[in-house]
Amino acid sequence: MVLNEIKNRRSVRKFKPEMIPDEKITEIIKAAQFAPTAMNNQAIEYIIIKEQTIKDQIFEITEPKQEFVKTAPIIIVPFTNTEKTNLATQDLSLASENIFLQAAAFGLGSVWKNCYPPVAKKVKFILNIPEKYTLINIIPIGIPEENPKPYGDFNFKSEGIHTEKYGTKFKIKNDLTRKNK
């Protein structure tokens, strides 16, 4: 059930040094490619970084600098062609979530490392990505060295879920939310 992967997916920021097999990387990219894109543009491409020197270069230009950019065995960089989509952020976000979920299904950890436009520009420069492409994040992935607690029904919030119109609470059976405990 996909909800299991969704519950197990937590941001992981400490990784073991072991490399991830290419077969698993391929499956993770497959999951990303099968995410929806606006008008089915399918314009997202990926760079898989394993080289320490490239990771180090990227670490230096990210803000804030976070160690996991250097220590993750791989970084996946999704980027998309702005000549083929006007909804790059949406497309890239959905692909990213599929990456997180497939990584979680493999027992791997991952995290969204944000790249604001000035940082994205520098990342593109380091990776030789042509001007017409845009990116919003980089995704370090590896075997977790820390194990954040999976989400459970305990974390579920029934506040903020309305029915028909704003202000009428959607009633949830067996509500185990934090508030009702």
What is the distance between the alpha carbons of residues 56 and 69, in angstroms, rounded to a whole number?
Answer: 8
- Contact residue for ligand FMN among 33, 114, 158, 177 (CB under 6 A): 114
Instruction: Tell me the per-residue interface mask from 54 to 83 with ligand FMN, x by CB under 6 A, - otherwise.
Output: ------------x-----------------
Nearest approach in angstroms of CB 60 to ligand FMN is: 15
Interaction of residue 108 with ligand FMN, rule CB under 6 A: no
Judged by CB under 6 A, the chain residues 137 through 156 that form the site for ligand FMN are: 148
- Contact residue for ligand FMN among 110, 113, 124, 135 (CB under 6 A): 113
- Contact residue for ligand FMN among 10, 37, 77, 78 (CB under 6 A): 10
What is the distance between the alpha carbons of residues 116 and 99, in angstroms, rounded to a whole number?
Answer: 20
**130 torsion bin: left (phi>0), alpha (psi -120 to 50), beta (else):** beta
137: enclosing H helix or E strand: strand 137-142
Contacts of 105 (CB under 8 A, 6+ apart): 5, 8
* Choices 14-22, 51-59, 80-88, 106-114; region in contact with ligand FMN by CB under 6 A: 106-114
* Choices 16-24, 48-56, 108-116, 126-134; region in contact with ligand FMN by CB under 6 A: 108-116
Nearest approach in angstroms of CB 30 to ligand FMN is: 22
* Both tokens assigned to 167: 């202000």
What is the distance between the alpha carbons of residues 150 and 70, in angstroms, rounded to a whole number?
Answer: 25
Cα dist from 156 to 9, 53, 160, whole Å: 15, 42, 11
Tell me the three state secondary structure of residue 46.
Answer: strand
CB-nearer residue toward ligand FMN: 64 or 167: 64
Query: Contact positions toward ligand FMN, by CB under 6 A?
Result: 10-11, 13, 66, 111-114, 148
